[in-house]
Amino acid sequence: MKTFHLHTKNPNRREIQMIAKEINSGAIVVIPTDTVYAIACKLTNKAGIDKICRITGKKEKQAKMTVICSDLKQVSNYTMSYSNDVFKTMKRYSPGPYVYILNANKFVQKYFKNNKSEIGIRISGNEIIQSLLEIMDEPFITTSLNKDNIAGYYTDPEKIEEDYGAELDIMINAGPGSIGESTILDCTGDEIEVIREGLGYSSANDISI
């Protein structure tokens, strides 16, 4: 496993290019976000998705996987059409610690065994992620990294290396991660519903559609 120590603000451009090249070639990577650390690969890396589920011990059918996009324009490439109210909400709170549950289009569905009809979408404010997405061929597909699904999320990148280093290709160490979760908004129904009260909840609680 290769480890890169990057500053959250103004990450080294040369190293960003090196990491993006390996992700485009199929690497599995642990990335910092604006909440907890996550394990990721590029969206169309089907073998990578299978490996992420194996590493984390999550069955693909139940795994809560999220597509991290660079902006709202990119989001539209991977979801069914959504209402103007949903668009306004996403525009208002993005980038930030939010996951929007949207109806996935057929392009996304074919990369999952169960052809899942819904997918989490996120636009992260983390500058490392944004810098990588500028170079990558496509968005990230990610899931939060937590031990045995019950022991809480990892905040110490060195502990991640210790527990998963043998199975990962790249570790991006950006210092201690947040202990907070993202706020999850279900945007598939007639009204936006707060599914989880995360770091963005104080704002999401004010949503009135």
pLDDT tens figures, 78-112: 999 999 999 999 999 999 999 999 998 988 887 77
43-58 pLDDT, tens digit each: 999 999 999 989 888 7
User: Is 175 inside any structural domain?
Assistant: yes
In a domain, 183, yes or no: yes
- Does residue 21 register a pLDDT over 60? yes
Q: What is the pTM of this model?
A: 0.89
Asked whether residue 45 is domain-assigned, the answer is: yes
pLDDT mean across residues, the chain:
87
Question: Is 192 part of any domain?
Answer: yes
What is the model's pLDDT at position 18? 97
Angle of the 13-24 helix axis to the 127-135 helix axis, nearest 10: 60
Q: Look at residue 124 and tell me if it is in a domain.
A: yes
Question: Phi and psi dihedrals of 75, rounded to 5?
Answer: -55, -40
Tell me whether residue 119 is in a domain: yes
Q: What is the CATH number of the domain that holds 52?
A: 3.90.870.10
- Please tell me the total count of domains within the chain: 1
| 209 belongs to a structural domain | no
The boundaries of the domain holding residue 94 are: 2-204
Higher-pLDDT residue of 73 and 59 is 73
